[in-house]
Amino acid sequence: MKKLIYFTALAAASVACAPAEQTVDYTQMSDEERLKAATEIAQSNIMVDGHVDLPYRMKVGGFTLQREVLDVSVRTPDGNFDFPRSKEGGLDAPFMSIYIPAGNQKNPGASKALADSLISMTERLATTFPDKFAMAYSPADIEANFAKGLISLPMGMENGAGIEDDLANVKYFQQRGIRYITLTHGTDNLIGDASYDTTGTHGGLSEFGEKVVAEMNRVGIMVDLSHVSDNTFRDALAITKVPVIASHSSVRKFTPGFERNMSDELIQAMAKNGGVMMINFGGSFIDSAYAAGSSKVREHLVNYMAENGLSRGDSAFKAYASEYTAANNPFPTVQRVADHIDHVVALVGVDYVGLGSDFDGVGDSLPTGLKDVSMYPNLIAELLKRGYSKEDIEKICYKNVFRVWKAVEDYAAAQS
């Protein structure tokens, strides 16, 4: 299944002899040597992340069309993404999440308006810092930007509520640069049922949702099945003519009862479809023990504040909280993320898994060793330690999602 990874160097040889091969087994390297090799792999190959919530973070931080408050062209003191850290970690193409909160669905027109504003904000990031960022609407764009040393900003809409009740908006958002749409978010919408909602409004995809999936196929937008209910997931797979993605989901085996993650049945169905599951790094997504552990830490810290007359902003509390959390670390580790990748690979093979961190979208729940975009090499090093090949790593980092994306592009081109 997984192969031991070897680094091949051609030794000098005489004219009469073929070059000799020298192999190094990465599994036998020291951790320091392996991390160095992982960093080289991360920085010399394209890396795509299926879901980074920077646009909404910029909105909250005050980055608008009129002014800039949050400047991610330089190292920022908080958040998980900025240009310097992205370069350190080897991230070249974070899908910018055009996130539509479920609450917007209550006000007609509000979801589309928010989507438009976040798209414009992302475009402004590229025009404001053209030496660092560039928009990307295809794998070819990412490859061209990578060659120039630029961070690509492809976009995916998180929550199909942005389509409102107008099928024409699917084409509209394709023209605005959206390249995947997550069909639902926290609650059922006009398209279908969501995993976090127990209402079961449609029993899966609605009739309108079936038309949306078909139209996404027609115009060249990837169908994203993160956040949807199991029934919506199955319905979408039955309708789509091209492979799908799950832009930021993890394995339900490690979080029993958490429908937001994917069951083995759904993973196998997605692989049969040719799709790609992109692993979410959030603590509650990768380890069911995280929620209980973090709750205990929070409860202790709240009691400590009350007992000592402190607030969250007090330096004394911050120092204590940092020390206590470190000593009672509730967070999973980078190894647990690798466990999720291992499970998908064991179940269906390495061709159907990718990275979908949910950076800037899962708060402080991120695992030890994967706290921000500079730390992808830690995950790659762990995979190398477990025997993944360089080719495997390249598939996980970008080749798998590129395959799906190009299939969607080709199908759409054939319809026009």
* pLDDT tens column, 207-231: 999 999 999 999 999 999 999 999 9
- The model's confidence at residue 301, banded by pLDDT at 50, 70 and 90, is confident
The Cα-based distances of 187 to 195, 228, 249, 281 in angstroms read 8, 9, 17, 22
Could you give the CA distance from residue 392 to residue 3 in angstroms, rounded to a whole number?
9
Could you give the CA distance from residue 183 to residue 162 in angstroms, rounded to a whole number?
10
CA angle, residues 374, 378, 383, in degrees to nearest 5: 140
Could you give the CA distance from residue 86 to residue 375 in angstroms, rounded to a whole number?
9
CA angle, residues 114, 119, 123, in degrees to nearest 5: 150
Q: Tell me, what DSSP letter sits at residue 12?
A: P
Looking at the predicted structure, is the pLDDT value of residue 1 above 60?
no
Could you give the CA distance from residue 168 to residue 182 in angstroms, rounded to a whole number?
17
- Which pair of structure tokens corresponds to residue 46? 């394209």
The arithmetic mean of pLDDT across residues 332-359, rounded, is: 97
- Which pair of structure tokens corresponds to residue 149? 């040393």
Q: Are 191 and 147 in contact (CB under 8 A)?
A: no
**Nearest to 206, CA basis, from 250, 252, 160, 245:** 160
Could you give the CA distance from residue 231 to residue 97 in angstroms, rounded to a whole number?
24
Looking at the predicted structure, is the pLDDT value of residue 161 above 80?
yes
Neighbouring C-beta atoms of residue 293, cutoff 10 Å: 16
Looking at the predicted structure, is the pLDDT value of residue 15 above 50?
no
Q: So what's the pLDDT on residue 2?
A: 41
SS3 for 181? strand
Q: Are 156 and 96 in contact (CB under 8 A)?
A: yes
CA angle, residues 403, 408, 412, in degrees to nearest 5: 145
- Which pair of structure tokens corresponds to residue 232? 């919506």
The Cα-based distances of 45 to 199, 245, 393, 411 in angstroms read 44, 21, 9, 27
Backbone angles phi, psi at 99, to 5 degrees: -85, 125
Token pair 């930021």 is found at 248
Q: How many residues are present in the chain?
A: 416
The Cα-based distances of 94 to 11, 64, 135, 301, 358 in angstroms read 38, 20, 11, 34, 10
Where are the chain's structural domains? 45-287+332-415
Q: Are 121 and 410 in contact (CB under 8 A)?
A: no
Higher pLDDT: 297 or 73? It is 73
What percentage of residues in the chain have a pLDDT greater than 70?
92
Could you give the CA distance from residue 184 to residue 69 in angstroms, rounded to a whole number?
30
DSSP alpha helix (H) spans, 97-165: 110-128, 139-147
Looking at the predicted structure, is the pLDDT value of residue 51 above 60?
yes
Rg (CA), the chain: 22
pLDDT tens-digit map of 316-337 = 898 888 888 778 777 899 999 9
**Mean pLDDT of all residues in the chain?**
91
**Nearest to 191, CA basis, from 180, 177, 207:** 207
- Which pair of structure tokens corresponds to residue 219? 């115009």
Token pair 């269906």 is found at 348
Residue range 45-287+332-415, CATH number? 3.20.20.140
Q: So what's the pLDDT on residue 384?
A: 97
Q: So what's the pLDDT on residue 277?
A: 98
